[in-house]
């Protein structure tokens, strides 16, 4: 199984009942043996479509980071020198997002050192696909007539996934486990509109017990709220004979929509291009 051909190992099967296989996201550097698990659940009932309203306050509810706390490092030092924590960053490039009918083109968070294009991915033959570009792209599971995932134009839970590490380098969600309650995350739309979310909780699940239905369709989300869920690998890596590894846990970040507008100094694709050109010129 190659990197480019590998899909998430989350399998959603059946109509009345789904079998969700926890996504392995094992590609910290190459291929891996399959070690998926199955969680039985039922098909969620679609909720009526409505335009959500921003939460009254820009501050999410003060939910604690899960009982099994994820150790936080010196985030400022990590963002200043990412290679100090073990995996180098991939080469800096500018990628023009592919047009898509979902309208989301970019996800960025200065607090997490994150700025990536968004690929629309889906569920094909019961398999949750991964982004084709494992190094630079975040995958958004666009809803359709069968899978009731969230979208920006209504209440619900928007689900995104990306690698923490890929080909022995940092992946798009490398710093997700460093998130703190209240951190800002932004989605840029194709029309230039920016949607603002704030981190409300971060949970690390053991791969063997992750409740995938609850991750995809959280039961505690109020009907009128729009949430954003980021899903990636986390925890310890067990390396195999070929030098590639399996993560033993999954990190799930939940953020709540609080309104429109990005940070005053929000980076853009143009400023990123300028930075790349300056670096190439040796400035």
In the chain, where the domains are located = 17-281
pLDDT confidence of residue 231: 92
Q: Which residues pair with 114 in a beta bridge?
A: 109
Name the 3-class secondary structure at 238. strand
pLDDT confidence of residue 38: 30
Other Cβ atoms less than 10 A from the Cβ of 105: the count is 20
17-281: which CATH number, 2.60.120.10, 2.30.40.10, 1.20.1250.20, 2.40.260.10?
2.40.260.10
CA–CA separation, 120 and 115 (whole Å): 16
| Range of lowest pLDDT (102-111, 123-132, 211-220) | 123-132
pLDDT confidence of residue 154: 86
- pLDDT, mean of residues 34-46: 36
The region, left, alpha or beta by phi > 0 then psi within -120 to 50, assigned to residue 190 is alpha
pLDDT confidence of residue 74: 57
- pLDDT, mean of residues 173-180: 90
CA–CA separation, 181 and 265 (whole Å): 21
Name the 3-class secondary structure at 11. strand
How much of the chain, in percent, has pLDDT values that exceed 90? 28
More confident residue, 68 or 251: 251
CA–CA separation, 109 and 129 (whole Å): 24
CA–CA separation, 7 and 99 (whole Å): 22
pLDDT confidence of residue 35: 30
Helices (H), 63-123: 75-80
Please check the confidence at residue 204 and state whether its pLDDT lies above 80.
Answer: yes
CA–CA separation, 150 and 143 (whole Å): 6
Query: What confidence tier does 97 reach under pLDDT thresholds 50, 70, 90?
Result: low
pLDDT confidence of residue 236: 80
State pTM to two decimals: 0.69
The string of pLDDT tens digits covering residues 114-170 is 999 999 888 787 777 888 877 788 999 988 877 888 889 888 999 999 988 767 778
């Amino acid at each position: 199984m190659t990197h480019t051909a590998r899909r998430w190992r989350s399998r959603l099967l059946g109509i009345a009942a789904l079998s969700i296989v926890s996504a392995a996201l094992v590609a910290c550097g190459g291929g891996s043996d399959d070690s998926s698990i199955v969680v039985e659940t039922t098909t969620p009932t679609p909720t009526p479509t409505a335009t959500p309203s921003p939460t009254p306050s820009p501050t999410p509810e003060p939910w604690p980071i899960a009982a099994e706390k994820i150790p936080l490092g010196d985030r400022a030092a990590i963002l200043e020198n990412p290679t100090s924590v073990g995996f180098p960053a991939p080469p800096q490039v500018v990628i023009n997002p592919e047009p898509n009918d979902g309208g989301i083109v970019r996800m960025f968070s200065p607090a997490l050192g994150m700025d990536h294009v968004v690929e629309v991915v889906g569920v094909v033959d019961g398999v949750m696909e991964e982004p084709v570009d494992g190094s630079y792209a975040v995958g958004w599971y666009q809803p359709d007539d069968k899978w009731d995932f969230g979208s920006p134009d209504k209440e619900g839970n928007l689900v995104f996934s990306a690698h923490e590490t890929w080909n022995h380098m940092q992946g798009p969600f490398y710093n997700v486990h460093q998130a703190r309650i209240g951190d800002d995350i932004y989605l840029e739309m194709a029309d230039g509109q920016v949607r603002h979310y704030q981190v409300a909780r971060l949970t690390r699940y053991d791969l063997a017990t992750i409740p995938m239905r609850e991750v995809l369709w959280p039961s505690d989300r109020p009907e009128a709220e729009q949430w954003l869920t980021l899903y990636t690998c986390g925890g310890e890596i067990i390396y195999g004979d070929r030098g590639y590894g399996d993560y033993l846990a999954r990190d799930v970040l939940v953020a709540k929509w609080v309104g429109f507008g990005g940070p005053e100094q929000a980076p853009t694709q143009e400023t990123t291009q300028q930075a790349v050109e300056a670096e190439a010129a040796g400035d």
